[in-house]
Structures are given as structure tokens and as C-alpha cells.
Structure 1
């Protein structure tokens, strides 16, 4: 099952994001095929304001554990994290 992890950065926490980015990217890489795709949301100034990850997990609890393990989450970057079931219906390479 696929889950969307939608994270909103705390205002004024760009330096936390920058400082934690290497660990965050290493964590995402370590997920292997569990991670379908990921990237930041950008504000009008083109600076990151949050993150979107889509992960494959057996349950909501498992997807939430993946989100909680992210170094960004552990560093307190996010004001909000929402994890919800998601269905990839258009341009899904696995459905080809």
C-alpha cells in the first residue's frame, strides 16, 4: 500500500533543514524501494517549506514509523506531519 507523507516546516527553521539535509538524504536512500519518490515543497522565494514523500508500507503504523524515523522529523523541523493512504493512478511506472 502507498502512503503520502506530507510535512510542513516550522516557520524560521530553514537552517535546521540545511543542517540536517545530509542525514535526511542518507535516510531516504536507505529506504530503497520503499520510497517511491520525495521532494520539498517550495515557497514563493523558492526556499523549501515542507516535504512530500510517498512510501510503500504494510500499514498506516508502518508508514508513520518511516515518517518518524526521518532525521528532519527527529530534528524538530516539522510543525505538522500527515500520513494518509494514497493511490497512484496516473503515470505509475509499476502499472505499465
Structure 2
């Protein structure tokens, strides 16, 4: 089942994001190698600077998705003001259904 992790950064935490980014990228690469990562990328503010994340993963259930979200280095670094986890249905342009 797919889950969207919708993460909003705390204000004025860009340096936290930059410092944790190498570990976050390694974390996403590991999820990708396991086939769990569908896609990911940052939300951008009006100035084009990252201020959140959208990560879509394949997980067994909401509890498993929550566990993944909790192990993200950004979450461990205290970057996020909030993390919303929503079941998601990839209807259009899904390469798996092509």
C-alpha cells in the first residue's frame, strides 16, 4: 500500500536540513534499494528554498509507514514541525500500471 509522508519543516531550520541531507539521501537510497521508495522531493518556499518534503513509500500499513517516517534522519534531527501520513492511490502516470 502506498503512503504519502507530507513533512513540513520548522521555520528557520534550513541549516538543520542542509546538515542532515547526506544521511537523508542515504536513507532514501536505502529505501529505494529495498523497493519501498516510489518518489521523493522537497517542497519549496516562495524564494525557492526547501521548507518540507514529500516522500511516497510502499508500506504494509500505516504503522509501518509511521516507523519509516520516524527513522528518517531529517525527523531524527528535529527538522520537521509536522509529519502527516496519508494512504495514497497513484492513478495517473504510475509506471507500475503502464
TM-score range, shorter chain: over 0.9
Unaligned runs of 5+ in 1: none
Q: 5+ unaligned residues in a row in structure 2: which ranges? A: none
Name 1:61's counterpart in structure 2: 63
How many residues matched?
96
Shift of 1:60: 0.2
Aligned to 1:4: 4
TM-score by length of 2: 0.97
The runs of 4+ residues in structure 1 deviating greater than 6 Å are none
Please point out which of 41, 44, 49 is paired with 1:47.
Answer: 49
Partner of 2:86, secondary structure, is strand
